Amino acid sequence: MVICPYCQKDIHLDLDTCPHCGVTMIYLYKCKRCNQEIAATGILKFCPLCDADLSDQMN
């Protein structure tokens, strides 16, 4: 389970939208190395395209 950042309720990890408040759990990253925008339904630590470290983009 993860906690919805909007309504603070539990969400099953298989869901990419919150069943309580309807928000879509999408995380957007922009990779500095390959210059691609990446949308993920979870936390990404590495770029799926070039393996660059994305951890400095967290917030």
Task: Give the C-alpha separation, 4 to 47, whole Å.
Answer: 24
Cβ closest to Zn ion, residue 40 vs residue 52: 52
User: Quick one: tokens of 27?
Assistant: 């995380």
Task: Give the C-alpha separation, 36 to 25, whole Å.
Answer: 20
Cβ closest to Zn ion, residue 38 vs residue 59: 38
Nearest distance in Å: CB 33, Zn ion:
5
Please report, as ranges, the residues that interact with Zn ion according to CB under 5 A. 4, 6-7, 18, 20-21, 31, 33-34, 47, 49-50, 52
Nearest distance in Å: CB 29, Zn ion:
9
Count Cβ atoms below 10 Å from residue 47 Cβ, excluding itself.
Answer: 19
